[in-house]
Amino acid sequence: MIWKAIASAALALAAPAIAQDKPAAAKVSLTRLDCGTVRVNRLNAFSDTEAYPGQSRDLTVGCYLIRHGDQLMLWDLGLPSALKGADFSSDGDMSASVTRTLVEQLAELDLKPEDIDIVGISHFHFDHIAQLPDFPTAKLFIGKSDWDLLTQSPPPAFVDPTPFAHWISGGGQVEPVARDKDVFGDGSVVMFDMPGHTPGHHTLLVRLAGMGTVLLTGDQAHFQENYDSEGVPTFNTNRADTLASFGRFKALAKNLKATVIIQHEPRDVGKLPAFPKAAE
């Protein structure tokens, strides 16, 4: 009886991650939003094995609108709006610029910030969270280990809790996600716990009726070569966790026959329809 109870509990915990054959209860679509560009002057920072000496590269910053029936979710909140029109610089490790803000792009879809029900964050780095304050009525989903750092007093020097102030103060709803999270309860949108880049880093699965399964990397990888080699940036918080998460991510991609979208990879932008069209 004890082993039966343990097995039942284990299956219950695993349920959000294994609902691949369960049809979505609502129509789901996925739209890519342009959240800016990062010009990396020292690409070697993205390898703790010195794989890219002397190289530089432009990386895209992708944010994503998910429609689930009449509910709306944003995945990742991009670079600061203050960088709109900013010039790139060859000084320092990197610089960034934004062409259009999230609010401006949503307006083109006849949406207002208060129409967004959920904001999901892959992790707390500045290029994934900066426009979060523009959506104060949305419920925040974020990895619990990241949330613990953001709410620590004082927070670590490498963490900026400022964009989260509204939720930290109790002004907005927040759900710290400890493991995987089936966001809508039907297996169509699932946050996967993949620590390493940060302690609470998550990736996102979206099941579409036409396109099939899509996996958004968060920052599990930053560009194709980094993904292929399972490279670990120097600024990741845990190397072993990063490699374990790579193993899980790639196994999911293979087993689910998923389209992998590396959120910072310019070559992956074309895997989804160009804005304002959505993948369905």
- Distance in angstroms (rounded) separating the CA atoms of residues 206 and 46: 27
The full set of domains in the chain, from first to last, is 23-271 (3.60.15.10)
> Cis (ω within 30 of 0) for the bond into 199?
no
pLDDT value at residue 91: 86
The end-to-end CA distance of the chain, in Å, is: 45
Query: Are residues 56 and 263 in contact, defined by beta-carbon separation less than 8 angstroms?
Result: no
Whole-angstrom distance, CA of residue 235 vs CA of residue 238: 9
Q: Give the confidence band of 165 by pLDDT, cuts at 50, 70, 90.
A: very high
Predicted confidence band at 30 (pLDDT cuts at 50, 70, 90)?
very high
> Comparing 1 with 82, which gets the higher pLDDT?
82
AA letter at 13: L
Q: Each residue of 218-242: pLDDT tens digit?
A: 999 999 999 999 999 999 999 999 9
